[in-house]
Amino acid sequence: MNDRLLVEVTVVGKDRKGVVADVTNFIFKNDGNIEQINQNVINGLFGMQLEASFHHHDFNKKLFDTELKTLAKKLDMEVKIHYQEPKRLKNIAIFVSKESHCLIKLLDAKVSGQIHANIVVIIGSENTTSAIAKKHNVPFYHIVHSMQTNAEEQILDIMDRYNVDLIVLGRYMRVLTPNFVWRYPDRIINIHPSLLPAFPGAYAYVQAYERGAKIVGCTAHFVTEDLDQGPIICQESFRVGQEDTVDTIKRRGQRLEAVTLLEAVTLFLENRIEVNWGRVVIKDAMDIETKR
């Protein structure tokens, strides 16, 4: 695979016949080999993710982009093209709301060299973390979320502008729509404050306390169109004592969230994650070194 270029194509639009056939035929006509493909329809909205490989030496990127966009116009579909370039540092976007613990952990990890990537932009549904972004010289965009679909249109434009490879939800308290998620298959990582699949939703710590949970933790997972149901990357936990309250559980949980999210991001950046049939497989570091 070292002599081949990997191209990720996502197609989103109103469901209609022939889209899958037309796009796959386009890949084959350009001497591409389809490595994986997935498509879905929700409430009349069609989404497809396709990964194809091409020989480096005879691939014309400019022509490929132009012809695929022409096809997209013919199909009346939105198309996003993402080129996987192993030698380039990946670009990360961090989405946040009010809580800053995950954001600070990721930014500090970048400063210390633990994260080998560029944190290129921070998106805030609130304006509370703008000073943190300014301190680290990272562009910050406060996107008003009165309408999630309108907010996502603005965010998608920013993601394209900064050529984002990975989106990290550092306690971003908004539910992304399928229209957004399908454009970044297995490239959106979220941290959830419970050991999924238990206690989904925004008030996981309260649910755990009310149910008398003896072990509480957090889950880093890929985001899919199904809320809190995406492939699990890693989980961590701690024991709850009789003296613990909702507040102490939350404080302990937030510290663990930051560590667990960083672990998941690091695994992604080290190319140690594979998603097979909805499950995450963590490749051993020794195996990766051997392949190199």
Considering 31, 160, 228, 284, which one is annotated as catalytic?
228
Q: How many angstroms separate the CA atoms of 141 and 133, rounded? A: 10
- 228 as an active site residue: the answer is yes
Name which of 84, 113, 64, 106 is nearest 5 in CA terms: 84
- Whether 95 and 123 have beta carbons less than 8 Å apart is answered as yes
Instruction: Retrieve residue 2's tokens.
Output: 């070292």
Which SS3 state, helix, strand or coil, does residue 149 take?
A: helix
Give per-residue burial for 171-191: e unless 16+ CB within 10 Å, then b: bbeeebebbbbbbbbbbbbbb
Phi/psi-derived region of residue 186, left when phi > 0, alpha when psi is between -120 and 50, beta in every other case: left
Kindly give the pairing relationship between strand 45-55 and strand 4-14.
antiparallel
Q: How many angstroms separate the CA atoms of 113 and 70, rounded? A: 42
- Whether 92 and 164 have beta carbons less than 8 Å apart is answered as yes
Instruction: Retrieve residue 50's tokens.
Output: 């396709």
| CA dihedral for 263, 269, 270, 271, sign (positive or negative) | positive
Instruction: Retrieve residue 278's tokens.
Output: 């909805």
Kindly give the pairing relationship between strand 78-84 and strand 4-14.
antiparallel
For the annotated catalytic residues, the residue numbers are 228
